[in-house]
Amino acid sequence: MNTFHPCDLHTWCFLLNCGAEISHCSNKFGNAIIQALYSVSVPPTGLLRRLFRRLGPSLTAELVNWEGYEFGTPLYLASMKCGINVIQLLCATRANIDAKGGPEGTALMVAVQAARLEVVRFLINCEASIVVVKDNQVFSAVSAAWHHRSIEEWFLVRRFTERNFLVGSSSFYIIA
C-alpha cells in the first residue's frame, strides 16, 4: 500500500465544503471514495453520504466500482478494514459485489482472509458469489477460509442452519 499520511475528519469536511474537484481517479492514489476509506481511521457513514451526494448518483456508481492499482475497489478496501455500516452503504450505491477488487480476489475473499465474519455474512446475504472466475483464475471463499475455523464452520454448516436449510425432524442412524 501507499505510504501517505491519513487525514482527519475535519480535513475531509473542508475538502467537501470548499468545492474541490473530487471526481479524479488515479492508479496510484485511487479516487475520493478510496481515499475517504483509506485515510480516515474509522470512516463515518455521514462523511461517505456527503461525498456521494456531492458526486451525484451516476459518478458515485462509477467511482464505487473503480479499481485502483494499489487499493482495489472501495468495497474491497472496506471489507478489509471498515465497519458493516460502511459496507452496507457501498452496496446500496450499486457496488459490484463480485468484482475482483484486489490481490485476494473479491470483497468476500478479503473479508474471509481478514476473519470478518459479520462482513462475510452480510456479503453472502447480498448474494455474493462464493466462487469467482476471472482471467482463468478461480477464487473460492471456502478455500480462503481454511485459516479461520469460525468462518470455515460458518460456510460449511451455520449458514445453512441460519437459513433453515438443514433444520428438520429427520433422524440419523449409524449402521455398523
- Into which CATH architecture does domain 9-162 fall? Alpha Horseshoe (1.25)
Task: Provide mean pLDDT across the span 34-58.
Answer: 79
**Number of Cβ within a 10 Å radius of residue 152:** 17
Q: Please state, for a pLDDT cut of 90, what percent of the chain lies above it.
A: 20
Burial of 136 (0-12, 13-18, 19+ CB in 10 A): exposed
pLDDT, mean over the chain: 78
Indicate the length of the chain as a whole number. Answer: 176
Looking at residue 9, its pLDDT comes to 61
One-letter identity of residue 14:
F
Handedness of CA 83, 88, 93, 98 (dihedral sign): positive
Cell match 477488487: residue?
A: 101
CA distance 26 to 119: 27
How many angstroms separate the Cα of 109 from the Cα of each of 30, 61, 122, 147? 21, 22, 13, 12
Cβ atoms of residues 120 and 111 within 8 Å? yes
Dihedral angle, C-alpha 60, 66, 70, 71, nearest 10 °: 50
CA distance 106 to 175: 43
Q: Quick: pLDDT tens for 78-134.
A: 999 888 999 999 999 989 998 887 777 889 999 999 999 999 999 999 999 888 787
pTM, two decimal places: 0.77
